[in-house]
Structure 1
Amino acid sequence: MKKIISKHGKIIMSVIMAVTMISAPHVGAFAADDNKTQEPSYRTTTEVFDWGPAITKIIVDLGETIPQSAITKDTFEVHVLRTENRANSPILGEAEGNCKIKNAYVSDDIGSIQSKGNYITFDLEVGPDVSLTSPINYNLTTNLNGWVNCDFTIKQKNDIVTDSGKISGLVINKFAGGTKKLVDDFKIGSATYDNVTLKYSSYKPENDYSKKPLIIWLHGIGEGGTDGLLPISGNKAVNFASKDMQAYFNGAYILAPQAPTFWMDGFTGFGDGSSKYEKALMSLIKDYVSKNSNIDTNRIYIGGDSNGGYMTMLMIRDYTDYFAAAFPTCEALKDTLITDKDIEAFKKVPIWFTAAKTDTTVPPADYVVPTYNRLVQAGDTNVHFSFFDNVIDTTGLYKKADGTPYEYMGHWSWIYVYNNQCSAIINGKVTTLMEWLSDQQLNKETKSQTGMKPITVSQTITVSQN
């Protein structure tokens, strides 16, 4: 079961992902203009995409005003050097090179285009196979991600003509900080229970003094460790805080705990049906709820991918009456470890499974398919399953050489969850995962869904690819 490499097995196949946050030392910058009183510097903008995070923008503070017409994509080059902080962690993908500049323009300090100003923004090429813009690296030995140092050097190639003269020869490598979209809206915390310390990320919705649900998300294998940012930025879990997703719940709290190693570390082995972090996790959840009085305790939802899907299954098995619903994705609790008694416990919790037929890391035939079938056969009427043929890009931005949509590793079915692209016909109505989730409450009678039947691995329950 150590082959459960969450999203990160794809790195080997398609050259690395990307995550947010650059925290590296940067040396000074030098300009040819002797009259300058302020040393030019740069800032970064990071966003989290379906494949992971990427540095999308470099924003340079020139320290003097220039017109929009003075800048083109060829005025500067943007060079990056990516280095590891961890021993024995070779960089996967490119470690150094010039980033492709998609666009360059005069802007304000947050990258919005202006007719004239003191800042230049460079929009960089990003994508599932672009490694130069990735500020994390996956360690193939530990199966954990870690931040890398990303040192940018912006060199001027062509002169900039302004009303006050000419600027030439700029070399800018002074780092002045960065922003991380959505990620910056989270707070990082740490708590210890019975000598187990868990880091976590948390998000609070705008306080309108009404009760709000809590969404708990449990990360995959690569996001374990002691950096609370990884659970939300190793892949697109941060999207639960987006306006679109929050709108389904009229605002929701988000809690993303982090296992020091793997949720699947059991008492007798890896993925043995137990977790040495389970009690500490439940203590953290209850502690967080007690400290946030606006959380509606009748609407606490739990989900997770792969290693986190495994832990989701354990939590609803052992704390059946606490969670209003669960949404495990490519879950890694083997069906042979689930007893008939466990099935009866699962029946008490509304569940929406997600997986893809091309998942070779957690083969559906050994995990989710037989478990789903057993629930259906046991009479569960509020269990749903989005079973995709494969995992593809649905944005239209990334394609294969033949023009068909870019295909991700089959284990990455969480992409459909983060984008709310899972849907099913429930009681005659097409319902998305988030619509369904937002409607679940403890002690609420739900209308029975009829006509549910067991499936085979060759069948597809739901396909929501655009």
Structure 2
Amino acid sequence: MLKKMKTQAKTAMISTLAAGALLSYSTGAAAQEVKTQPASYQTVTEIKDWGAVNTKLIVDLGRSVPKGSITPDTFSVNVKRSDHRLKTPFLEEGSRKITNVYVSDKKGNPAVKTGRYAVLEMEVSPASSLSSALNYDAAGTGFNDWTENKYTITQQKDIQTNAGVISGLVINQFAGETKELVEDFSTGQATYNHITLSYANYAPEKDKEKNPLIIWLHGGGEGGTDGTIPLSANKAVNFATEDIQDHFDGAYVLAPQAPTYWMDGITGRADGTSKYEEALMALIQEQVAANPDIDPSRIYIGGASNGGYMTMLMTRDYPGYFAASFPICEGLNDSLISDEDIQSMKQTPTWFVTAENDTILPPSLNTVPTYERFVAAGAENVHLSLFEDVHDTSGLYTNADGTPYQYNGHWSWIYVFNNEVDTVINGNTTTLMDWLADQSLQN
């Protein structure tokens, strides 16, 4: 009996020691923190209907972690925005909502098993400025420019790895940026008769075929000396997307930039002339000469607001050069257009786009009466898309009452870049991009 009791006591002691050792091992593994290399982040900027926004952060965690080891609650994100042009540069500060996360490689591609990086996708909205990568200096320069957005990513929950736990990360070291689509363009400057124009251009893949050229003239807020601004403030980068390029089987894109406003005329603002007109035409001709595969019979010109104004001047003063034009919410007042001007302009197939509730350049003073004069003068290929307003068509953004988010009525260029402008031609519904692609001086 005594021998049996000793045996049971020994067994119990061994079990207790084993359990204690297991508990000690498990607790030690959970508590063991692993060291990481210095952490940093990169920003990813995308161009939305309302402009450039930071949509993602690619965070270097300093050590590989398993796929699925992070969640939207693992980190919090804070941003401070500033504009170096302002006397008081600070704009705002606040928290960004993380909507999705995943372990990735350095370029942000999802990891198969493990990765040293984490992509943090963040909420964006046309009603929220915290995500914006641009600032419009309305009270000063009157132009958009890139902002400085300083992010701080703070770890809120441990990250479990095979080697132990990663905790306590505070990441605020900026390591670079990616501007999607913008980086597909080249930028440069050209000077003609002491006037320097900046520009961005896009070249399609070489296909041993002639390709058309699309010229985009920016609005009033995109002047300056940074050729990426006209691409980014209102989604002109979309000309380089596969969706639009496919309509043209590949097209060159040229986005010139005026140092100030295309509307700056010889005697004053929007006087029916532009001091940049000759320089702009020289830049266009230089680009055509430098690219022998540009089809000179398929050069299209368009622009919004201030750029729509310049579009009208170019077709007025260079009739027979452009295969088609697409002025959007254009700023050339109809009272400045003579009957002789109409005769010149009508030679270029033209598609006008604007919105009824545009209070900045009311269509009743510019677009509509000019269109009607085109028609009365016998223009054979002229169209008008007059929208009731400008609202979100993606279904992603709504007003408080659930209706589609309303943009400023002046922003009718949104419909153009989304190729949502169409009309019935010869019994068929035709989009603006399809119509442009069909225009040629040889027709």
Structure 1 residue 68, shift from structure 2 partner: 2.6
Say whether the 8 Å CA contact 1:200–1:258 is kept in structure 2. Answer: yes
2:402 alignment counterpart: 403
Say whether the 8 Å CA contact 2:45–2:133 is kept in structure 1. Answer: no
2:201 alignment counterpart: 202
Kindly provide the amino acid, as one letter, of the partner of residue 98 in structure 2: I
Provide Cα deviations, 1:231-254, integer angstroms capped at 9, x if missing partner: 111111100000000000000000
d(CA) in 2 for partners of 1:197, 1:248: 32
Aligned to 1:392, the other structure's residue is in SS state: coil
Say whether the 8 Å CA contact 1:198–1:259 is kept in structure 2. Answer: yes
Aligned to 2:395, the other structure's residue is in SS state: coil
d(CA) in 2 for partners of 1:132, 1:144: 19
Structure 1 residue 91, shift from structure 2 partner: 6.0
Kindly provide the amino acid, as one letter, of the partner of residue 407 in structure 2: Y
Q: Taking structure 1 as the reference length, what is the TM-score of the superposition? A: 0.86
Provide Cα deviations, 1:221-271, integer angstroms capped at 9, x if missing partner: 111011110011111110000000000000000000000000000111110
d(CA) in 1 for partners of 2:175, 2:228: 20
2:63 alignment counterpart: 64
Tell me whether 1:52 sits opposite 2:61 in the alignment: no
d(CA) in 1 for partners of 2:35, 2:51: 42
1:133 alignment counterpart: 131
Structure 1 residue 110, shift from structure 2 partner: 2.4
Structure 1 residue 298, shift from structure 2 partner: 0.3
Say whether the 8 Å CA contact 2:34–2:166 is kept in structure 1. Answer: no
Tell me whether 1:303 sits opposite 2:302 in the alignment: yes
Cα 1:60–1:179 change in 2 (3 A) is: same
1:101 alignment counterpart: 98
* Structure 1 counterpart of 2:119, from 121, 125, 128: 121
1:394 alignment counterpart: 393
d(CA) in 1 for partners of 2:356, 2:88: 32
Provide Cα deviations, 1:148-200, integer angstroms capped at 9, x if missing partner: 11111111111111110111111111111111111110001100111111100
Kindly provide the amino acid, as one letter, of the partner of residue 120 in structure 2: F
Structure 1 residue 384, shift from structure 2 partner: 0.4
Structure 1 residue 98, shift from structure 2 partner: 1.2
Task: Report which of the two structures shows the higher radius of gyration computed on alpha carbons.
Answer: 2
1:152 alignment counterpart: 151
d(CA) in 2 for partners of 1:158, 1:281: 56
1:217 alignment counterpart: 216
1:111 alignment counterpart: 108
Aligned to 1:69, the other structure's residue is in SS state: coil
Say whether the 8 Å CA contact 1:155–1:171 is kept in structure 2. Answer: yes
After TM superposition, list the pairs within 5 Å mapping 1:340-419 onto structure 2.
Answer: 340-419=339-418
Kindly provide the amino acid, as one letter, of the partner of residue 275 in structure 1: S
Tell me whether 1:237 sits opposite 2:224 in the alignment: no
Aligned to 1:248, the other structure's residue is in SS state: helix
Aligned to 1:123, the other structure's residue is in SS state: strand
Provide Cα deviations, 1:325-360, integer angstroms capped at 9, x if missing partner: 000000000000000001000110000000000100
2:19 alignment counterpart: none
d(CA) in 1 for partners of 2:90, 2:213: 37
Q: Taking structure 2 as the reference length, what is the TM-score of the superposition? A: 0.90
Structure 1 residue 33, shift from structure 2 partner: 6.2
1:447 alignment counterpart: none
Say whether the 8 Å CA contact 1:106–1:117 is kept in structure 2. Answer: yes
Aligned to 1:63, the other structure's residue is in SS state: strand
Q: Structure 1: where are the runs of 5+ without partners?
A: 1-31, 445-466
Kindly provide the amino acid, as one letter, of the partner of residue 138 in structure 2: L
2:257 alignment counterpart: 258
Kindly provide the amino acid, as one letter, of the partner of residue 105 in structure 1: Y
Say whether the 8 Å CA contact 2:33–2:164 is kept in structure 1. Answer: no
Cα 1:398–1:91 change in 2 (3 A) is: farther
Structure 1 residue 127, shift from structure 2 partner: 1.2
Provide Cα deviations, 1:39-69, integer angstroms capped at 9, x if missing partner: 1111111110111111110011113111233
Report 1 or 2 for greater relative contact order, CA contacts < 8 Å, sequence distance ≥ 6.
1
2:173 alignment counterpart: 174
d(CA) in 2 for partners of 1:359, 1:169: 51
Say whether the 8 Å CA contact 1:158–1:168 is kept in structure 2. Answer: yes
2:432 alignment counterpart: 433
2:72 alignment counterpart: 73
Aligned to 1:341, the other structure's residue is in SS state: helix
Structure 1 residue 108, shift from structure 2 partner: 2.1
2:330 alignment counterpart: 331
Number of residue equivalences: 410
Structure 1 residue 401, shift from structure 2 partner: 1.1
Structure 1 residue 89, shift from structure 2 partner: 6.6
d(CA) in 2 for partners of 1:220, 1:166: 52
Cα 1:283–1:432 change in 2 (3 A) is: same
Cα 1:373–1:171 change in 2 (3 A) is: same
Cα 1:439–1:228 change in 2 (3 A) is: same
Provide Cα deviations, 1:293-325, integer angstroms capped at 9, x if missing partner: 110000000000000000000001001121010
Cα 1:72–1:52 change in 2 (3 A) is: same
1:282 alignment counterpart: 281
Q: Structure 2: where are the runs of 5+ without partners?
A: 1-31
Say whether the 8 Å CA contact 2:188–2:200 is kept in structure 1. Answer: yes
Kindly provide the amino acid, as one letter, of the partner of residue 341 in structure 1: E
d(CA) in 2 for partners of 1:335, 1:41: 55
Kindly provide the amino acid, as one letter, of the partner of residue 249 in structure 2: N
Structure 1 residue 402, shift from structure 2 partner: 1.1
Say whether the 8 Å CA contact 2:319–2:344 is kept in structure 1. Answer: yes
Aligned to 1:70, the other structure's residue is in SS state: coil
Kindly provide the amino acid, as one letter, of the partner of residue 59 in structure 2: V
Provide Cα deviations, 1:402-449, integer angstroms capped at 9, x if missing partner: 1111110000000011011111111111111000000001141xxxxx
